[in-house]
Amino acid sequence: MAEVAARAGVSTMTVSRALKRDGAVSEETRRRILAAVEELGYVLDLSAGALSSKRTGFVAVLVPSINNSNFADTARGITEVIEDQGLQVLLGATDYDIEKEEHLVQTMLTRRPDGIIVTDGRHTPRARRMLQAAGIPVVEIWDLPAEPIDHVVGFSNAEASRALVRRLYQKGYRKIGFIGGASRRDSRGADRRLGYLRAIEELGLPVGRTIAFGDPPISMEQGGQAIVHLIEQWPDVDAAVCVSDLSAFGAIMECHRRGWAVPGRIGIAGFGDFEVSRWAWPRITTVAVNCRTIGLEAGRILLGALDDVQRKRTPMPATLIVPFEVIEREST
Amino acid sequence: MAEVAARAGVSTMTVSRALKRDGAVSEETRRRILAAVEELGYVLDLSAGALSSKRTGFVAVLVPSINNSNFADTARGITEVIEDQGLQVLLGATDYDIEKEEHLVQTMLTRRPDGIIVTDGRHTPRARRMLQAAGIPVVEIWDLPAEPIDHVVGFSNAEASRALVRRLYQKGYRKIGFIGGASRRDSRGADRRLGYLRAIEELGLPVGRTIAFGDPPISMEQGGQAIVHLIEQWPDVDAAVCVSDLSAFGAIMECHRRGWAVPGRIGIAGFGDFEVSRWAWPRITTVAVNCRTIGLEAGRILLGALDDVQRKRTPMPATLIVPFEVIEREST
DNA sequence: ATCGCCAGTGATATCGATAACAATCGCCTG
DNA sequence: CAGGCGATTGTTATCGATATCACTGGCGAT
């Protein structure tokens, strides 16, 4: 930067200002500086700037998996909003594991992000403590935690699942099974099962028709295996609610393969409104949440909180509940 | 860190050493320091460490899209390898746009990563210049650039596509069409088309049966629309090669919907061996490359280059060609 | 007994930018 | 015309760690 400054005949401070968005520098000077930057091929070093300004321009984002288009959409939404403000996402994947989340939180805090967005409201006590002590805005997304750390953008997975079951009931289904993961690691999956159970009970339907299969994320393959188990174990089952669209898709394809008509023999519903559900044949009944919106809103709330901090206002923790929608398609 | 040092009765330098992996500190001292760290809830500030050590511990990774499980797998592979060495991935998505890539390269360099991995061998001249001038190891992946910048881990998309077409020919298909994106933005997609054209020509098959549809990434929806166009335009077509599995899937489902048997009426093949292709019904013929391996190898090569730099050896640019495999399944 | 080496530790300078405040200049207001 | 204000630029201190070199004490080899 000193070289650029020398070449442009100004001080480094002026160069620094010229390279910021809000820098108060005269047009003439800025032009000279930018020319010098270009000629020298100079690239600003933010890691130095971060140290003195105490703002790194990073927003840490933790998702269970980037290999899941729902979370990928959310991550994109966040990125979109915050990069407009010159911030950058530091992405991490927890693999649905709160121990790994704890470790990632620590790693991320080591980079001193200006804010952090975590998926889920479940954390290890130590992770929780670190998040609270970090002194930066925190947004928990994709869930409605009982005790939010700070801000929240999410919805009740249990309610959504319950609404789906009730819709199936209206449609005439009475022997409804559930296909989900075998571990509690995926807390959103566990909530969906909970909502299913609640609905079944409320409606007075036969209980117990639950297949637990494999570790999250439940794959297409596991969906296919699970539907076979479900039908073998309870031959009178007339519908299956799957913990995600991917398992629902696997289940439907397995039914095709075995000549079981969907929805003729059994209705099958998923969760998440993945692309595959919109274009599969039959199209898959599911619960849609706007994943990108979750990301956009989480990003906006974070930006708002950062703005509050900068203006030395006390930020007010916000909770934003995003809507979900049961979408009935051809598979039920 | 000064507080921790005071509490442990040592200098900050010793604390710093105790918190590194290779730190030469006596067991007794380390224990005292870690205890102090725990009691004070101290979290190391890497953004400061980066400044003095001139190593940020970042590896920048640019992929066309994180919402594509092939690239997500690659990104995971990279992450896996490098986080073992205490490095962290800085992920960016170019949206299949080399202008956006240029911008991202600049943004990333601003963070002074220790190395950078970019998808594709096509770059704007400025991006290319910046990459070369950065003075850090560069790995280009998922392609075999004519003029590599530095290291390469990839395969020839054209060759792979050509092999697929030849396999279809062996199987008896003679009127083979191609479904791909309408723009040249996706250079791997363009290469696949090229390979298709080359094969068609070599085999003396009827040419021209190419449907170009939409901007990358070509979606399931576009695959469904394109197959209709293809069949309407050339009713005698007996097979379709799609630029990716997603479009192949969309095409197959559209055929189901219209009562066109796959592969009875038309055989359909994809590219990429996505999960959906393994579990769809019919299972989809495709070209498989081990995406995770691309990531793992790219990570390893990068680590090797970083090691070379540290030991002041001159790193030798490496090119690693990963194998692809044509997998014949039920859809052809 | 002396020397040299090594493990463990500390003192100091430094990484490259920006915050905070100061200085300068021109122009407007009363 | 004095005072003051806003726009522009510079000076200096500082952010929080680590590189580098220096120092100490113990121990084995000669």
| Residues B77, B173 within the same domain | no
Tell whether the model's pLDDT for residue B22 goes beyond 80.
no
Residues 6+ apart with CB under 8 A from A121: A140, A143, A144, A145, A146, A147, A148, A152, A154, A187
Contact flag A66-B44 (C-beta cutoff 8 Å): no
Residue B49 within any structural domain of the chain: no
Q: Say whether both B85 and B138 belong to one domain.
A: yes
Dihedral (Cα; A33, A38, A40, A46), 10-degree rounding: 80
Same domain, B177 and B251: yes
Neighbouring residues of B39: CB distance < 8 A, sequence distance ≥ 6: B7
Q: CB of B213 within 8 A of CB of B225?
A: yes
Beta carbons within 8 Å of B278's beta carbon, 6+ residues apart: A220, A221, B284
What is the mean predicted confidence (pLDDT) over B201-229?
Answer: 89
B6 touches strand C (CB under 7 A): no
- Which helix (H) or strand (E) segment is A58 a member of? strand A58-63
Number of domains forming the structure of chain A: 3
Is residue B206 scored above 90 in pLDDT? no
Q: Are residues B151 and B296 in the same domain?
A: yes
Cα–Cα distance for residue pair A253/A265, rounded to 1 Å: 13
Interface A–B counts its CB contacts (< 8 A) at 111
**Taking CB atoms and an 8 Å cutoff, what residues of chain A touch B47?**
47, 50-51, 56, 111-112
> Distance, angstroms, CA B68 to C1' C12?
51
pLDDT of residue B217: 81
Chain centroid to CA B10: how far? Answer: 46
Q: Specify if B329 maps to a domain.
A: no
Residues B44-78: pLDDT tens digits? 999 999 999 999 999 999 999 999 999 999 999 99
Task: Give yes or no: residues B277 and B302 share one domain.
Answer: no
Using a CB-CB cut-off of 8 Å, the residues of chain B touching A279 are: 220-221, 224, 249-250, 253
Mean pLDDT over B88-100 rounds to 95
- In this prediction, residue A21 carries a pLDDT of 72
The answer to whether A181 and A243 are in contact (CB under 8 A) is: yes
B142, part of any domain:
yes
Q: Say if B75 falls within a structural domain.
A: yes
> 């090691």: which residue's tokens?
B307
Residues 6 or more apart whose CB falls under 8 angstroms from that of A309 comprise: A137, A315
Which of B88, B90, B220 faces A275 most closely, judged by CB atoms?
B220
Instruction: Check: CB of residue B75 under 8 Å from CB of residue B42.
Output: no
Please report, rounded to whole angstroms, the spatial distance between the CA atom of protein residue A34 and the C1' atom of nucleotide D7: 20
Quick check: A105 and A131 in contact, CB under 8 A? yes
Locate A165 and state its tokens. 């079951």
Q: Does residue B36 lie within 7 Å of nucleic acid chain C, judged by its CB?
A: no
**Are residues B146 and B165 located together in one domain of the fold?**
no
The dihedrals phi and psi of A214, each to the nearest 5 degrees, come to 75, 170
The answer to whether residue B332 sits within a structural domain is no
CATH number of the domain residue B30 falls in: 1.10.260.40
**End-to-end CA distance of chain B, in Å?**
64
Dig out the tokens for B121 from the structure: 């061998």
Question: For residue range A99-126, what is the model confidence (pLDDT) as tens digits?
Answer: 999 999 999 999 999 999 999 999 999 9
CA distance B223 to chain A (A): 10
Same domain, B167 and B282: yes
Q: Given a cut of 80, is residue B23 above it in pLDDT?
A: no
Q: CB A41 to CB B133 under 8 A? A: yes
Overall size of chain A counted in residues: 332
Of B45, B56, B91, Cβ closest to residue A112: B45
Nearest nucleotide over every DNA/RNA strand to the A30 CA, judged by C1': D8
Whether B274 maps to a domain, the answer reads: yes
In this prediction, residue B226 carries a pLDDT of 94
Other beta carbons within 10 angstroms of residue B100's beta carbon come to: 16
CATH of the domain at A302: 3.40.50.2300
Do B121 and B135 lie in one domain? The reply is yes
Which residues, 6 or more positions from A247, have their beta carbon under 8 angstroms from its beta carbon? A179, A180, A218, A219, A220, A222, A223, A226, A270
pLDDT value at A216 more than 90: no
Interface contact B43-A130, CB threshold 8 A: yes
Residue of B nearest to A90 (CA): B90
What does the pLDDT average to over B97-125?
96
Q: A137 and A98 in one domain?
A: yes
Kindly indicate the confidence band of residue A207, based on its pLDDT and cuts at 50, 70 and 90. Answer: confident
Domain membership of residue A328 (yes or no) is: no
> For position A150, what pLDDT does the model report?
96
> How long is chain B?
332
* Residue B196 contacts residue B207 (beta carbons within 8 Å): no
Residue B142's pLDDT is 96
Q: Enumerate the nucleotides of strand C whose atoms come under 7 Å of any protein CB.
A: 7-20
A299 is a domain residue: yes
> For residue B7, what are the domain limits?
2-44
- Do B191 and B284 lie in a common domain? yes
Asked whether residue A177 falls in the same domain as residue A191, the answer is yes
B26 pLDDT more than 90:
no
Q: Which parts of the protein come within 7 Å of strand D, by CB position?
A: A 9-14, 17, 24-26, 28-29, 51-52, 54; B 1-2, 12-13, 15-16, 19-20, 44-45, 48-49, 51-55
Averaged confidence pLDDT in chain A:
93
Q: What is the pLDDT of residues A271-280, one digit of tens each?
A: 999 999 999 9
Same-domain pairing of A189 and A275 = yes
Residue B114 in tokens: 């220790």
Q: Find and give the residue nearest to D16, measured CA to C1'.
A: B48
The answer to whether A61 and A136 have CB atoms below 8 angstroms apart is no
Q: What percent of chain B has pLDDT over 70?
A: 100
* B116 three-class SS: strand
Mean pLDDT of the region A138-153:
96
Residue B274: pLDDT band (50, 70, 90) is: very high
